[in-house]
Structure 1
Amino acid sequence: MSEDTVSIIVTVLNGEKWVDNCFRSILRQCTAVHVQKQQQQSKQMQPAEHKWVDDNKLLAHVTSPGETKEVESKQKFKIEVCVFDDCSTDDTMEMLTLWQRKFGGQRIRMFIVRNESEKPKGGVSEFVGYGRNRAIELGNGAYLCFQDIDDEMLPTRIEQQYLLARANKDALIGCKFVRTPPNSTCRFTRWANELDATKLPLQIYTANGPTVIMPTWLCHRRVYERIPGGFCEHGRGTPEDLIFFYAHLDRGGRVLRINECLLLYRYHAAATTFSIVAETIWQLRMQHLLAHVLCVEPWRSGFTIWNAGKRGRKFFRDLPQTFKCNVRAFCDVDKKKINKTYNHYDENAHRFTYVAPIIHFTHARPPLLICMKLDLTNGAFEANLNSLNLCEGRDYVLFT
């Protein structure tokens, strides 16, 4: 294992339309140049503010030739590229071979393993975890950088994350990102980029998934090796990134983020995200919450569910019977619900089995299990929550 090498992990299935831009952006990481102007723009550039429409123009703007200046300090790391091609049927493999030669000309090793069977096992839309595990096995780097074929690295991504990972070998290192096309998934992008660093290990039960998104991860190899079996290989529809993220936290791993936009994160209809069913993620979050939060004090002595509407009631219905007994009340702001009761009807027993009062949120005492989605009420919910002066993680948990 080479301590000064970063292995870039890529899985691909029929990705010919993305290959060139993706690998061109990787090659840029090895160019020992900086753009002083880029550093200033990078600090100012937020997804809501950038006005580039064309992806290539964005990258050209950041890496404009003629504005370059040699770096004062020499590059301290090397990279290698490890690719799993999942029996692509388009021109992906031919393009990968061409890029292998290009990287070789720059003295960069590129390893390719191909699934020769007729059934995909680890590409973009099938067994992603399988492909990542096989690509990781190819590499020799002490550090792993995860890159999706449909995304593009912005300059200095690896340099900045590598330096932070080298000093924090027990941490997953993420970064902010630019979402493209502009204005796609605005609420998610805002949440992921603006989440306070102290909440990265806390706000882990939202439908958004890991608090640092998988395509931005870089870590020491020991972070990966601490997880038995690496990434889950159960197949299509498995949120292997969230499963890995939880396993990392459960073993005392930390989560850090570079507060600069270092990735062009593409949104499109064929993205892996769309192969994962929301109910699968809900149940995975629920299981982790039960095992790590609701079974310990003060939660097991009783808690209140914030939201007497659809989401709060679904949460209650999905609780195992032993945990339903711990729900003291529901709380809400809707005057039509307050001072009434929630009566739970058990479909199997054919009778009402639990009754919980619905109170105003100002009368609720912690701990609170909050089933309200963020950033949907023009700040009204957030203002109500802040007015209680509670501490996230201790007094309340978001399950949105």
Structure 2
Amino acid sequence: MLPQRVRLQYEASVLHPDSLIGCGVRRIPEGSTERYTRWINTITQDQLTTQVYTSHGPTVVMPTWFCSRNWFQRVGPFDEGGKGVPEDLLFFYQSLRRGGGVARVDHCLLVYRYHEKAATHSVLEETIWNLRVDFLQERVLSQWESFTIWNAGKQGRKLYRCLSPANQRKVKAFCDVDENKIQKGFYTYEESKERPKPKIPVLHYKEASSPFIICVKLDMTGGVLEENLNSLQLREGADYFHFN
């Protein structure tokens, strides 16, 4: 911990008593998990709430958490299942279910060490995926009558296949920028037991309509994805949510 951490996060928790308070971090060795570290430190206060469904996990990372004892007790204990249990993600989701907020002190107050034997590496990717899909369905898709999956490739199709039948029926289209996928016209859900098998249109993103679930990784397209979203004048948290 760096000097002032307790004081600054305590002051923030007084203003946000029912919240998990995070802070900025510096990773060592320098350059470790560069994209992830940039995300931790630079997403906006609003995105701390809207980007809770991404593969990065909690929008304020557990080593930075600060909250009142009262809030901790209201959320409940950590899952002590041991190796392979993403206890931070489970607690984070439960805090949000209880109506908790998320806030970050925008100072670097923690040195966050990366090493290959960290417990986080014991958690299976599929475990995280299933928790994220369930939380997305619970918090977002249950409120929508229909939506578009932004990415007709591997990740978008995987999300579609993992949705409940009721939410699969809400998918009105996939959208993409890849002309090859768009020219095929449809994605056919071959594993479906329905007859005829569901065929979901594949559109260019400019022809698709919101709301969207974005299944393209952030900070991986040289700003192209972000520019495309901005060009449509969409509001994160209302017209779209990031999932990857």
TM-score range relative to shorter protein: over 0.9
Alignment gaps of 5+ in structure 2: none
Q: What is aligned with 2:3?
A: 155
Shift of 1:397: 1.0
Q: What is aligned with 1:261?
A: 108
Q: CA RMSD in A?
A: 1.3
Q: What is aligned with 2:127?
A: 280
Normalised to the residue count of structure 2, the TM-score between the two structures is 0.96
Instruction: State how far apart, in whole Å, the 2-side matches of 1:294 and 1:164 are.
Output: 32
Instruction: State how far apart, in whole Å, the 1-side matches of 2:4 and 2:171 are.
Output: 49
Q: Are 1:173 and 2:21 matched, yes or no?
A: yes
Q: What is aligned with 1:147?
A: none
Shift of 1:337: 1.1
Q: What is aligned with 1:336?
A: 180
Instruction: State how far apart, in whole Å, the 2-side matches of 1:320 and 1:250 are.
Output: 20
Shift of 1:268: 0.4
Normalised to the residue count of structure 1, the TM-score between the two structures is 0.59
Shift of 1:197: 0.8
Shift of 1:332: 0.2
SS at match of 1:219: coil
1:293 to 140, 145, 155: 140
Alignment-mate amino acid for residue 346 of structure 1: E
1:214 to 44, 62, 66: 62
Instruction: State how far apart, in whole Å, the 1-side matches of 2:174 and 2:201 are.
Output: 6
Instruction: State how far apart, in whole Å, the 2-side matches of 1:388 and 1:167 are.
Output: 35
Q: What is aligned with 1:304?
A: 148
Q: What is aligned with 1:326?
A: 170
Shift of 1:166: 2.5
Identity of aligned residues (%): 49
Instruction: State how far apart, in whole Å, the 2-side matches of 1:277 and 1:352 are.
Output: 35
Corresponding residue pairs, total: 243
Shift of 1:243: 0.9
CA contact (8 A) 1:161 1:173 kept: yes
SS at match of 1:237: coil
SS at match of 1:215: helix
CA contact (8 A) 1:304 1:365 kept: yes
- The correspondence of residues 114-263 of structure 1 with structure 2, limited to 5 A, is 153-228=1-76, 230-263=77-110
Moved over 3 A (4+): 349-352
Q: What is aligned with 1:16?
A: none
CA contact (8 A) 1:177 1:265 kept: yes
Instruction: State how far apart, in whole Å, the 1-side matches of 2:164 and 2:19 are.
Output: 33
Q: Are 1:364 and 2:208 matched, yes or no?
A: yes
1:315 to 159, 168, 186: 159
Alignment-mate amino acid for residue 112 of structure 2: Y
CA contact (8 A) 1:227 1:247 kept: yes
CA contact (8 A) 1:346 1:352 kept: no
Instruction: State how far apart, in whole Å, the 2-side matches of 1:231 and 1:371 are.
Output: 29
Q: Which has the higher contact order (CA 8 A, sep 6+)?
A: 2
| Structure having the higher Rg | 1
CA contact (8 A) 1:344 1:352 kept: no
Shift of 1:395: 0.6
Q: What is aligned with 1:353?
A: 197
- The correspondence of residues 18-57 of structure 1 with structure 2, limited to 5 A, is none
Instruction: State how far apart, in whole Å, the 2-side matches of 1:202 and 1:159 are.
Output: 27
Shift of 1:350: 9.0
Q: What is aligned with 2:225?
A: 381
